[in-house]
Structure 1
Amino acid sequence: MKRIKVLHVGEAAGGVERYLETLFKYTDHDKIKNILICSQNYDDKKIRQLVDRLIVIRMEHQISGKADFNSIRTIRHYIKKIKPDIIYAHSSKAGALARIADLGINNKIIYNPHGWAFNMQQPAGKKEMYKWIEKFLSCFCEKIVCISDAEMESALREKICKLNKLQVIYNGIDLEAIKKVRIKTRQEFRIPKDAFVIGQVGRLSKQKAPDTFVKAAKIIKQKIPNAYFLLVGDGELRGKIEKMVHEAGLDNSFMITGWVDNPIAYMKIMNVGTLLSRWEGFGLVLPEYMSCSVPVVATKVDAIPNIIQNEKNGSLVLKDKPVEISEAIIKIYENSDYRKSIVNQAKKVVDEKYDARRVNDEIYQLYMEVLSKNEA
């Protein structure tokens, strides 16, 4: 049987890169040949081991006329050379570049925005521009993969495309790899042994609301004297956050790790894991926390309520509400029965819904569906 040749195009690193790594790891290589065109932001050494071929090109995250033209031209060159059966484009920017690059060549294209750009907090004019771009480019792909029900509802609400072009395939996590991550001692991270550790894994950016995390931390410290706070990640707001930590008097109870190769090791020492996003396409870190038996406190925005059911497998709070966030965390601290209940339920949900192998099966079926239309 001839292998399906899939050309993936990815620009955004972070969550999209982790999605691709897991997708490639569990690919049936007897059935699928994966080729990836990615930006300079990817860890090419790591991902090169997982694909049949890796091509790194320069891509700019923001809209840039000259840079985008060069990226489109380069992608088009490789499309003509590789002659893929399917192009699978990941994230808004790569989705636009790939679909424009394929104009006139007419390959079968699947597009996964990994969270709609128009759902981000930004000026109204910019949101409308992103909506217009998505509507126009939706005409140049066979299927759009939505990573949550909320993402599909957004697409329908904004009339991006018709329902039959959308398909929900929930993200998955590498449960096998998570189980293999060694549990490190708190001493290895220089965290007090008796600390109640509250952490958040994610970029230090406006979206992930690390500022709200610090505000909540200040309140929590007054109620839980042995509380210790952990931000696993880095980003453009790091300087501002470090200043906020100092002004809150939390220097001795707070760590910002910077970028780390394996955030799971940090998750496994947490007593509570948070995701305080102001908008969120999925929130891959949520099932990761849940798999590590870490109770979750997350904001009630976009796709997060599709994953977290309040007071069943985690706690939902309003965004930018540090008092409400602190109360949810203190409840977990004080009520051991409640804590055990949500952790146990969360583990069941993860095992049933978020295994990466299930994602690969669904993606393969989607490939077959798209190709069968071509044969028909």
Structure 2
Amino acid sequence: MKKKILHIAEAFSTGIYTYLRDLTSYMTNVLGEENYEIVIVYSKRDVLDESKIKDDFSDKVRFIKVQMVRNINPKNDFGSLQELREILKTERPDVVHLHSSKAGVLGRIACSGIIKRDKVFYSPHGYAFLRQDISPTTQKAFRLIEKSVQFLFGGITIASGETELEFAKKIGKTYFVRNGIDFKNQKYTQSSKENQKFTVGTIGVLHAQKNPSGFNEIALKMPDVDFVWIGNGELANQITAPNVTITGWVSTREELLSRTSAFDVYMQVSLWEGLSIAILEAMALGKPIVASNIVGNKDSVEDGKTGFLINTTDDAVLAIKKLQDKSLRATIGKASYQRCKTLFDKDKNFEELIKIYES
């Protein structure tokens, strides 16, 4: 008899989109579509191109659209909650897996009285109370919401990195399952072509989390280095340095990996993160990583061995200057690949997640 797994994703874009694409692919192609029925309840974010869903996901995965909003909005949240409860009553899944803080709150409340607490799992993908674009008072409120919802409605947290695990264990019952990427089906080709100018690149939405102003400040301090931002967003106007190119979003995954492979260094200066899939894929391409010293990044990057964790823009400049040494860059790039292959192979990690689902 098939087991029904229902995912609820408020932030169905970029990293969570990739995570669910890879997880559902693993469950349908590796474990067999005859064993699982998969439903994804999602909300559209501005960067989501819904026309690509049919190409990226198996036709055995069903999708139900519910418009949830990121910020607290009592009227919209109540409507979303009612809709989620109706879906859960109709679908009656064996397991519910919630993705992002907002889905974690609404989903656990919606599951109350319908789904057993020990069959409701929650992946924060970066806790909302770690956001740096909100006030300390709001951070405290979000932390209180996390603790209160856990206490009142239960559920089990799936932490994707060691630092996230430490936060999660203080809130409630938690399992540790690392994020991963697809080494089996995705070819990560490391470019051997040398750039005319040293090139540092990143991938992401140009919004507060990804810290485009910090990226721009680093570029301004290094006028002889080319910087590339793959993506777009509402804060594109914060990129003013003449040596930064914003490419916009690329049309295919192959093109994205090809462009990433052309970077000499991958840099991510986010203000807060879950465990970044973009960083993992850059590591799989043998790239040294320069990343902000925050939760999430600290779990993927081993400082001084697979890249550098930085606290200031001056730290980033120094790290990039060090990595202009070709020999050091090659050594760190090789270590970066090896760490990713050892710890972040999705098939190994998803196998652990399925065991949790089945327990």
TM-score (ref. length: structure 1) = 0.85
* Matches for 1:117-156 after TM superposition, within 5 Å: 117-121=128-132, 122-139=134-151, 140-156=153-169
> In structure 2, what is the Cα distance between the partners aligned to 1:264 and 1:124?
37
> In structure 1, what is the Cα distance between the partners aligned to 2:188 and 2:288?
20
* Matches for 1:354-369 after TM superposition, within 5 Å: 354-369=344-359
Shift of 1:8: 0.6
* Matches for 1:157-172 after TM superposition, within 5 Å: 159-161=170-172, 165-172=173-180
* Matches for 1:77-88 after TM superposition, within 5 Å: 77-88=86-97
Q: Is the 8 A contact 1:234 1:258 kept in 2?
A: yes
2:124 is matched with which residue?
A: 113
Q: Is the 8 A contact 1:131 1:160 kept in 2?
A: no
2:36 is matched with which residue?
A: 32
1:353 is matched with which residue?
A: 343
* Matches for 1:221-240 after TM superposition, within 5 Å: 221=223, 225=224, 227-240=225-238
1:62–1:354 Cα change, 3 Å: same
Match of 1:217 among 213, 216, 219: 219
Secondary structure of 1:62 counterpart = coil
1:61–1:203 Cα change, 3 Å: same
Query: What whole-Å deviation, never above 9, does each CA across 1:30-72 have from its counterpart, x for those lacking one?
Result: 3222111101234444334424311112111211111111111
Please give the root-mean-square deviation of Cα atoms over the aligned residues, in Å: 2.1
TM-score (ref. length: structure 2) = 0.89
Shift of 1:301: 1.2
Match of 1:326 among 317, 327, 330: 317
Shift of 1:155: 2.8
Shift of 1:183: 6.8
Shift of 1:195: 2.4
Query: What whole-Å deviation, never above 9, does each CA across 1:73-118 have from its counterpart, x for those lacking one?
Result: 1111111111100111111111112112122223321111111111
1:8 is matched with which residue?
A: 7
Secondary structure of 1:207 counterpart = helix
Q: Is the 8 A contact 2:212 2:238 kept in 1?
A: no
For 1:147, the aligned partner's letter is: S
Bigger CA radius of gyration: 1
* Matches for 1:1-376 after TM superposition, within 5 Å: 2-12=1-11, 13-27=13-27, 28=31, 29-41=33-45, 42-48=48-54, 49-50=57-58, 51-107=60-116, 108-121=119-132, 122-139=134-151, 140-156=153-169, 159-161=170-172, 165-179=173-187, 194-221=196-223, 225=224, 227-241=225-239, 244-245=240-241, 250=242, 253-261=243-251, 262=253, 263-318=256-311, 321-333=312-324, 335-369=325-359
Q: Is the 8 A contact 2:307 2:336 kept in 1?
A: yes
Q: Is the 8 A contact 1:147 1:171 kept in 2?
A: yes
Q: Is the 8 A contact 1:23 1:359 kept in 2?
A: no
For 1:355, the aligned partner's letter is: D
> In structure 1, what is the Cα distance between the partners aligned to 2:102 and 2:297?
23
Shift of 1:174: 2.0
Shift of 1:259: 2.5
Shift of 1:346: 1.1
Shift of 1:203: 1.8
> In structure 2, what is the Cα distance between the partners aligned to 1:130 and 1:56?
25
> In structure 1, what is the Cα distance between the partners aligned to 2:301 and 2:290?
9
> In structure 2, what is the Cα distance between the partners aligned to 1:234 and 1:306?
26
> In structure 2, what is the Cα distance between the partners aligned to 1:202 and 1:88?
25
- The alignment of Structure 1 onto Structure 2 pairs a total of residues equal to 342
